[in-house]
Structure formats: structure tokens, C-alpha cells
Amino acid sequence: MQLVTEIVGWAGAAIMLTAYLSVSMGWFQVGRRFQAANMLASGALVITAPPQVAARPDTDRP
């Protein structure tokens, strides 16, 4: 499960960076495709975030 979560997170980051690069290079304009790519990427990153937070060591203990 952790491997799947990692893959989803990296895929989300790649989709988001590709969307921004595409708009910056003028390959497509800000519109439905850009928004859809951002929504998909954001969803992937949201799926990745909770397991990473839960895996952090507790720093409040002495």
C-alpha cells in the first residue's frame, strides 16, 4: 500500500508540473484542461499527504 501511495504522489506532482509547464510554454491556455490537470494532481497529493503525516515521529516527547 505504501508503494501505491508513493506512486500516486509522484504521479500527481508530475501531472501538476506538466500542466504548469504546458501553460508556461504556450502549449495550451489556462482553461478546462489546465484546471482538470490541477484537480487530478491535487487529488493525488491529498491521497499521499495523510500517510506521510501519520508516519512522522512524535516530536513533543522528551
Residue 59 lies in a domain: no
Give the CA dihedral 31, 36, 41, 44, nearest 10 degrees: 160
Domain contains 26: yes
What pLDDT score was predicted for residue 48?
A: 83
Tell me how many domains the chain contains. Answer: 1
Q: Is 1 exposed, middle or buried (0-12, 13-18, 19+ CB in 10 A)?
A: exposed
pLDDT digits (tens, 9 = 90+) for 5-40: 889 889 999 999 999 999 999 998 888 988 999 999
Which pLDDT value is given to residue 52? 56
Domain region containing 28 = 2-54
Does 31 fall in a domain?
Answer: yes
Rounded CA gap, 53 and 34, in Å?
28
CA-to-CA distance for 17 and 32, rounded, in angstroms?
Answer: 16
